Structure 1
Amino acid sequence: MSQPIINPYLAVLLGVLAAAFSSIFTKAAEAPPLIIAFYRMAFTVLLLAPVTLVTGRRELRAVTLRDVLLACGAGIMLSLHFATWVTSLNYTSIASSTVLVTMQPLFVIAGGYLFYKERINLLGAAIALFGSVLVGISDFQVGGQALWGDFLAFLGAIFVAGYMLVGRGIRERLSLLPYIIMVYGSSMITLFLAAVIYQLPLVPYSPGTWLMFLLLAAVPTIMGHTVFNWALRYVKAAVVSVSILGESVGATILAYFIFHQVPTLLQVTGGLIIITGLVIFIKSTARLDS
């Protein structure tokens, strides 16, 4: 395996910063959840397809049917992740939704050990997960729509864990761009079919909403998810998964300044605990890998 051009642990943290904008741009887009998710993927494919066709055309032609099916399966799970998570934002707060969807380390750590024999230091991961529970626990006390939103966000965590675990295996065989164009492409098609089935309008939308679609593609997807997929070739799936817990901290801070959603004392405390857990986890995992 070739050496990465930058430190993959640093790249993952930068990806987390980009991913934190996902809920902000989604909340600002005035469109149905499935439409938001579809255009997020559609703009991502439009931005990446030209580069992929120029640099990865030969590799795309040589991809085995098994890897095509796996990549498309990962894309379908990604589309289900977006569909459930984006919908959850209509029923619960940004903080609670982001926290629940980032509970996916529970599934990724278990799957990483089961399928890839990945061993990690669980202390930092446990601390970060505990912080995530504190960030969102105030919303768990609210019934009705908030509970439905929390459930949808949790389903999003299961789907994104599957997407990440599949990527961990395929990225050992495929370059980044050929892999992600199949993933994002199949995700886009799945979301388009869902929008057609539910008879959701593809147009018209305001210029501001179109801008949000484009920003969702450029920042949390290309600078976030694509960076995560790049890093999966060099680090354990659990490293990417646990690091994404930091997204809830960034999203909560951004929600305060943009939407004036004031975090509770528990959420602030939980955010500090998440950061502490991430520092412990990444440092201990890096030592195990060295």
Structure 2
Amino acid sequence: MSSRRPELLGYFYISVASLIWGSNGVIVNKVSLDAFTIAFLRVLFATIILSPFQLVRRNEAFKAVKAWKSIIALGACLSLGWTLLFQSMKLITIASAVLLNYVAPVFVAFLLRERIERITIVSLTLCIAGMILISYEQGFGNLNALGVVLGLFAGLSYASFIIISKMTVANYSGLTVAFYSYLMCAIFLLPLFLRGINLPESLESWILVILLGVFNTAFAVTLYMKGLSMVKAQKAIIFTYLEPAGAVVFGYFFLTQVPTLLMIIGGLLILLASYLVASER
């Protein structure tokens, strides 16, 4: 058991991060801002809150600049992924766009140089089935070809972010990688934000946006990066499916969105997949 402790701890970190991300929809639902403004403000506050830690760890922070190509790539993957996902949501239903975005783990499984294990294939199949059941109740509508393509490329961008992150955290701490990722993402999203500046109008909205940036972004991503450095990427991706499952739970408690039987079954399939990976010896 002791030999697996770091691996199990890594799964725990990724699970907690994914469940935190599951609350993103609740926060976005309660903030009357466009998607690009929310995306920019969340990475801006994440960058600000992580800056003092980089001053304390400035030796590593300066050292990490050597990985500038990876840093730029991470920022580009995040900003491009969000942009494509938001545009996809305008052309097809949100359920369809989110489902296509969560094809990302499939891309990761095939793009990685790791040998794909049987448990990964089984668990990934369960996760995709669970995701389909969760999304089905929200309706898929008439699929627009461009919307589908944009959704798939959003998933590919997300997959690229996971792979590059995995390679980068092998040499630098998750805290440092998260800081530079969001700094670059903020730079890439700045032109979209400036195109139509729209700031929160109420104190509650400001608090929610800051919470989104500090807790759901800075803290959760640092936790995710830490976990990613402790486990195989192909297994880490299984636990990211806890995000949509968590979104159903948060929606029930904070938005009174009662989950249907299919949603509950979908969530249980995702939990089963996570258990299979975590319990494998």
- Output the TM-score relative to the length of structure 2: 0.86
Query: Does the 8 Å contact 1:37/1:86 carry over to 2?
Result: no
- State the one-letter code of the partner of 1:49: S
Unpaired segments ≥5 residues, structure 1: none
Query: Does the 8 Å contact 1:94/1:255 carry over to 2?
Result: no
In the alignment, which residue of structure 2 is the partner of 1:46? 48
Deviates most, 184-193 or 220-229: 220-229
Q: What do the CA deviations read for 1:234-264 (whole angstroms, capped 9, x no partner)?
A: 1111222111111111101211232233333
Deviates most, 37-46 or 96-105: 96-105
Distance 1:185 1:141, change over 3 A: closer
SS in 2 for 1:262: coil
Distance 1:144 1:128, change over 3 A: closer
Partners of 1:279 and 1:5 in 2: how far apart? Answer: 13
Query: Does the 8 Å contact 1:77/1:162 carry over to 2?
Result: yes
Query: Does the 8 Å contact 1:15/1:225 carry over to 2?
Result: yes
Pair 1:61-2:62 in alignment: yes
Distance 1:220 1:100, change over 3 A: farther
Pair 1:213-2:199 in alignment: no
Partners of 1:182 and 1:13 in 2: how far apart? Answer: 23
- Pick the aligned partner of 1:233 from 207, 229, 233: 229
- Number of aligned residues: 276
Measured after TM superposition, the shift of residue 281 of structure 1 is: 2.5
Partners of 2:99 and 2:200 in 1: how far apart? Answer: 32
RMSD: 2.8
Measured after TM superposition, the shift of residue 188 of structure 1 is: 0.7
- Output the TM-score relative to the length of structure 1: 0.84
In the alignment, which residue of structure 2 is the partner of 1:127? 126
Partners of 2:60 and 2:231 in 1: how far apart? Answer: 23
Query: Does the 8 Å contact 1:40/1:216 carry over to 2?
Result: yes
Partners of 1:153 and 1:260 in 2: how far apart? Answer: 28
In the alignment, which residue of structure 2 is the partner of 1:156? 154
Distance 1:211 1:95, change over 3 A: farther
Query: Does the 8 Å contact 1:102/1:244 carry over to 2?
Result: no
Measured after TM superposition, the shift of residue 70 of structure 1 is: 1.0
Query: Does the 8 Å contact 1:176/1:229 carry over to 2?
Result: yes
Query: Does the 8 Å contact 2:95/2:139 carry over to 1?
Result: no
- Pick the aligned partner of 1:35 from 34, 37, 45: 37
In the alignment, which residue of structure 1 is the partner of 2:170? 172
- State the one-letter code of the partner of 2:181: V
In the alignment, which residue of structure 2 is the partner of 1:103? 103
In the alignment, which residue of structure 1 is the partner of 2:256? 260
Query: Does the 8 Å contact 2:133/2:263 carry over to 1?
Result: yes
- Pick the aligned partner of 2:182 from 181, 184, 199: 184
Unpaired segments ≥5 residues, structure 2: none
Partners of 1:24 and 1:124 in 2: how far apart? Answer: 27
